[in-house]
Amino acid sequence: MSVHLGTSRWLPGPVAAGARLRLLCLPHAGAGASAYRRWGAGLPAWIGAVPVQPPGRETRLGERPYRDCRALVRDLAGEVAPTLSRPYAVFGHSLGALLAYELVRELIGRGCPPPARLFVSGRKAPQLAETLPRLAGASLDELAGLLSLLGGTPPELLGDRKVLALMAPVLRADFAVNESHHYAPHAPLEVPITAFAATADARASVADVAAWGARTGAEFRLHTLHGGHFAVLEQATRVHALIAEELAPWS
């Protein structure tokens, strides 16, 4: 039996009825809810993965993707807030990590209950300056080069200009979301944060990810995975065990 989260296009569900805690999962640039459907199925039954579906991809392909971080977080928070009737945590990878952090800030600012824990991976802490070139207007060759560097995209897709051209609009929009984010000093969250860093991540070094510790006044844990940018998705069994361990009080 499943419980649907309603008619929200952002949170298409379903989530297992027996789940005592929901884990909102925010995808990396260019990705959608499908990035977490199979991955989330491996979590213990008491944790229900809730993949987020931003516009411009998959079931929302015909919608205009966001290009502004603040607008995206504001609208997503409006969809998430009514669903917080039970304990929840938030997970984000790469761009999703930044959005997860800002979503938690927005929800708390609206008076919503805080999450049990925030999980981030594959992105440097938001107070660190961005060093990647600006990619919101990247050419197909530049996009292919970045995707090749990060891994996770089959080479045959990167070599297919038609496929790459179909992927380009949402990738450019997501990079614009990232580039529109401007960090201003603010108080750390009183929410525990767990960060996953990969030893060969071209997007964020272990030190970059460890800097997330400054963004919480509560507990901080750092887990290091061997591998590249998508290690947190590729090593699901280990990551699920760590998530379950840190959310055990809600099991």
The percentage of the chain sitting over the pLDDT mark of 90, rounded to a whole number, equals 75
- Of 2, 85, 94, 139, the active-site residue reads 94
Q: In whole angstroms, what is the distance from residue 153 CA to residue 33 CA?
A: 17
Over the stretch 105-154, which tens digit does the pLDDT of each residue have? 999 999 999 999 999 999 999 999 988 778 788 888 888 887 787 776 77
14-18, 52-56, 190-194, 243-247: least confident range:
14-18
Q: What is the pTM of this model?
A: 0.93
The percentage of the chain sitting over the pLDDT mark of 70, rounded to a whole number, equals 97
As beta bridge partners, residue 198 has 225
Q: In whole angstroms, what is the distance from residue 204 CA to residue 195 CA?
A: 12
Active-site residue 94, yes or no?
yes
The pLDDT of residue 155 is above 90 = no
The pLDDT of residue 156 is above 90 = no
DSSP structure class, residue 188: P
The pLDDT of residue 173 is above 80 = yes
Quick one: CA dihedral 223, 229, 232, 237, positive or negative? negative
